[in-house]
């Protein structure tokens, strides 16, 4: 954290910070149905008739999820919002409405640093029409950002559990970049090449696939299950199949990877697919569709990749060049 002997947060206090958030807040639109705005004991909203609300909570902690020497306050704030938006859009057709943010921040943080952090939270909320609705600010040793988002969910509920035998496993974009970017940052290498910089950016500035989810969920495609790949593609496929007594076949050579990752891995297939399957903090959508909808989806969103299919077995088999590969992968572990 940036440290200064003057104009530090101690001058501002908790109530000052809340005041700052209030004064610089995203204006709640009519869709937000705000009854009592941020700044009281609770935030209160009135529900729409027969509505479903989707809620998710994620926490980012300095030195676990980011280092302040790597990431700007703008990047930290962006990630804190995007990881939660990603969970909301994984509910297919859910729209994020309200964000609650609890921040632990070192006492000697420069006021300008905190202001940049809050401005970036607001900017990322604005992008999605999210209203900052409440929160808590306390002092802590490590910068800590805990976010809860409430979204409104229209249409049929798409969960992780609906995949059926024969369904096709689809993904919304490249895998492995974020994991490679993380390793580059960890290596403390100076003078990064152009492709290394791109990989690092993918790690530091992830983006929820709100764009894809919006098209995907509004066009009568039969999506049978969906999640995001926040814990890695390997884990995502498991979440949609093995966790519900189903299996899958996944073709490694069909998993989309970037040119940057290929360069970084020096075309070593083992390395490429280790990143693609294990790399966490990547927020692509992983979902299954009924086979009959594949052609329709190909026309609708050309960038979707089809990496395998669901079967009856209780495990996941990986193939490369049509040969089963014995390489063992492990999902990302937080502990």
Which is closer to a copy of itself, CB of 48 or CB of 327? Answer: 48
CB of 53 to a copy of itself, least distance (A): 6
Q: Is 46 in the site for a copy of itself (CB under 8 A)?
A: yes
> Residues 248 to 277: which contact a copy of itself by CB under 8 A?
none
- Annotate 91-117 with b (16+ C-beta within 10 A) or e (fewer): bbbbbbbbbbbbbbbbeebbbebbebb
* 26 neighbors 132 (Cβ within 8 angstroms): yes
Q: Quickly tell me which residue has 């949609």 as its tokens.
A: 240
Distance CA 77, CA 60 (A): 10
Cβ atoms of 208 and 85 closer than 8 Å: yes
Q: CB 157 → a copy of itself: shortest distance, Å?
A: 6
Residue number with CB closer to a copy of itself (44 or 327): 44
The size of the interface with a copy of itself (CB under 8 A), counted in residues, is 71
Q: Yes or no: say if 274 and 329 are a contact pair by the CB < 8 Å rule.
A: yes
Cα 222 to Cα 173: distance, rounded to the nearest angstrom: 20
Residue 216 interacts with a copy of itself (CB under 8 A): yes or no: no
How do beta strands 316-320 and 247-251 pair?
parallel
d(CA 103, CA 59): 10
* Shortest distance, position 119 Cβ to a copy of itself, whole Å: 19
- With beta carbons less than 8 A apart as the criterion, state whether 15 and 136 touch: no
Quick one: 266 or 328, whose CB is closer to a copy of itself?
Answer: 328
Contact call for residue 281 and a copy of itself (CB under 8 A):
no
Task: Give dist(CA 259, CA 156) in Å, integer.
Answer: 37
Query: How far apart are alpha carbons 136 and 99 in whole angstroms?
Result: 12
User: Smaller CB distance to a copy of itself: residue 233 or 252?
Assistant: 233
Closer residue to a copy of itself in complex, CB, 36/327? 36
Query: Which residues in the 23-42 window bind a copy of itself by CB under 8 A?
Result: 35-36, 40-42
Report the site for a copy of itself in 137-156 (rule: CB under 8 A): 137-142, 144, 146, 148, 150-151, 153
CB of 101 to a copy of itself, least distance (A): 7
By C-beta, is 141 or 303 nearer to a copy of itself?
141
Q: Which is nearer to a copy of itself, 199 or 248 (CB)?
A: 248
E strand or H helix at 161: none
Cα–Cα distance for residue pair 242/319, rounded to 1 Å: 17
Stretch 47-66 residues interacting with a copy of itself (CB under 8 A): 47-61, 63-65
Q: Cβ-count burial of 324 within 10 angstroms (0-12 exposed, 13-18 middle, 19+ buried)?
A: exposed
Stretch touching a copy of itself by CB under 8 A, among 45-53, 184-192, 249-257, 312-320: 45-53
Q: Tell me which of 12, 143, 170, 204 binds a copy of itself, using CB under 8 A.
A: 12
Cα–Cα dist 137/199, whole Å: 32
Q: Minimum Å distance from CB 275 to a copy of itself?
A: 20
Q: CB–CB of 83/283 below 8 Å?
A: yes
List the interface residues with a copy of itself, window 75-134 (CB under 8 A).
87-88, 90-91, 94, 98, 100-104, 107, 133-134
Would you say 50 or 322 has its CB closer to a copy of itself? 50
């Amino acid at each position: 954290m940036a440290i200064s002997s003057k104009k530090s947060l101690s001058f501002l206090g908790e109530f000052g910070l809340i005041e700052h958030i209030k004064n610089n807040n995203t204006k709640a639109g009519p869709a937000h149905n705000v009854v009592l705005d941020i700044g009281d004991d609770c935030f209160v909203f009135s529900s729409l008739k027969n509505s479903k609300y989707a809620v998710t909570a994620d926490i980012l902690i300095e030195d676990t999820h980011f280092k302040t020497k790597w990431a700007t306050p703008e990047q930290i704030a962006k990630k804190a919002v995007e990881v939660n938006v990603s969970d909301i859009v994984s509910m297919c057709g859910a729209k994020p409405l309200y964000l609650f943010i609890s921040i632990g921040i070192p006492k000697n943080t420069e006021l300008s640093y905190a202001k940049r952090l809050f401005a970036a939270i607001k900017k990322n909320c604005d992008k999605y029409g999210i209203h900052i609705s409440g929160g808590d600010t306390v002092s802590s040793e490590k910068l800590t950002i805990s976010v809860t988002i409430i979204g409104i969910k229209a249409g049929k509920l798409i969960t992780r559990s609906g995949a059926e035998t024969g369904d096709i496993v689809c993904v919304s974009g490249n895998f492995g970049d974020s994991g490679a970017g993380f390793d580059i940052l960890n290596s403390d290498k100076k003078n990064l090449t152009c492709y290394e910089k791109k990989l690092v950016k993918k790690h530091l500035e992830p983006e929820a696939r709100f764009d894809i989810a919006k098209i995907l969920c509004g066009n009568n495609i039969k999506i049978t299950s969906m999640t995001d790949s926040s814990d890695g593609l390997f884990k995502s496929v498991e979440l949609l199949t093995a966790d519900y007594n189903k299996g899958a076949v996944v073709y490694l050579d069909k998993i989309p990877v970037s040119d940057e990752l290929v360069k970084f891995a020096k075309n070593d297939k083992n390395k490429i697919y280790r990143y693609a399957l294990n790399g966490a903090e990547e927020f692509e959508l992983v979902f299954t569709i009924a086979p009959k909808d594949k052609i329709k989806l190909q026309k609708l969103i050309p960038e979707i990749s089809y990496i395998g299919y669901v079967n009856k077995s209780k495990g996941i088999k990986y193939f490369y060049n049509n040969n089963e590969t014995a390489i063992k992968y492990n999902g990302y572990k937080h502990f």
